[in-house]
Amino acid sequence: MMPKFLLSAFLVLFACLAQSLTAGESAPLVVAHRGASHAAPENTLSAFKLAWEEGADAIEGDFFLTKDQKIVCTHDRTTQRLNKKKLKLDVAKSTLAELRALDVGSWKNEKWKGERMPTLAEVMDTVPDGKKIYIEVKCGAEIVPFLKPAIAASGLKPEQIVIISFQKAVILNAKIAMPNLKACWLCSFKREKKTGEMKPTEVEVVKSLSTMKADGLSCGDHSSLTAGFFNRVRAAGYETHCWTVDDPKRAKQLAKLGMHSITTNRPAVIRKGLGTTDTQ
């Protein structure tokens, strides 16, 4: 009979291999980062609609809860970067009407003049059948009680929606309130100068994912992580996603590593680079 410690090691190795092979059977989803934001102003309806035209499998948008408890699509805590007049409003301390009065398109190009911050409902309304939306929560867990009815009213199927956030409390509260939806933790990594070790470690990552009841990990520091790292995270039962990738060569490398999705500013370029076609 095989010793218990050897049996355990064999099972872990087998699980890693199985997860790797399974992940590699299908191409990763192409997710449009803030829409097709290389060409159109980020987080606008024009950017999201262009993403669908470019064959994206999913869109990713950033969302805040406003002062009057509406959910608006924008990345920054203030409006200064996107508003040409440099009117600095704090998103969380402003009403939806105040935010919608701002032009958030002409900073990109005059042809986008007049673009307004969309609501979550308006963004979800662009999602075709069979496509997905990744909802990145940029504020705290206070948005969850308002997120749940907004998602329910959208008419989208549970499998079309993924909640993502850097904040562990957001993921945990989202999973408690909406257990039928997937939620992935956004995580950044740093290499310690003294030890050269990447932090958090895979053990710490898996523990955090378990505590949050998350469905997967999404990372932007993928160049610092190994195939073994991703395989072991998947072997523990979690999906692996990455952002933001605009280089087709790197996208191919990540596809071979078994990513479930690749987020990009240039969905048409990455889809072509991966040699995949629109799933619609």
DSSP state of 78: B
Residue whose tokens read 């500013």: 265
Task: State how far the Cα of 268 lies from the Cα of 273, in Å rounded to an integer.
Answer: 9
Instruction: Give the residue ranges of the chain where pLDDT is below 70.
Output: 1-25, 84-86, 277-280
CA proximity to 94, closest of 113, 115, 112, 80: 80
Residue 196: per-residue pLDDT: 84
Pair of tokens at residue 6: 């050897």
Question: Looking at 188-277, which runs of residues are DSSP E strands?
Answer: 190-191, 198-199, 216-219, 239-242, 261-264
Residue whose tokens read 């992580």: 225
Residue 4: per-residue pLDDT: 46
Secondary structure of 247-266 in HEC code, one letter for each residue: CHHHHHHHHHCCCCEEEECC
Residue whose tokens read 């929560």: 137
Task: State how far the Cα of 203 lies from the Cα of 196, in Å rounded to an integer.
Answer: 16
Task: State how far the Cα of 92 lies from the Cα of 73, in Å rounded to an integer.
Answer: 12
Secondary structure of 24-57 in HEC code, one letter for each residue: HCCCCEEEEECCCCCCCCCCCHHHHHHHHHCCCC
Dump pLDDT digits (tens) for 176-218. Answer: 999 999 999 999 999 888 888 889 999 999 999 999 999 999 9
Residue 2: per-residue pLDDT: 47
CA proximity to 74, closest of 121, 11, 119: 119
DSSP state of 237: T
Q: Which domains does the chain have, with CATH numbers?
A: 27-274 (3.20.20.190)
Dump pLDDT digits (tens) for 134-143. Answer: 999 999 999 9
Q: Is the peptide bond before 128 cis (omega within 30 degrees of 0)?
A: no
Residue 17: per-residue pLDDT: 43
Residue whose tokens read 């929606």: 161
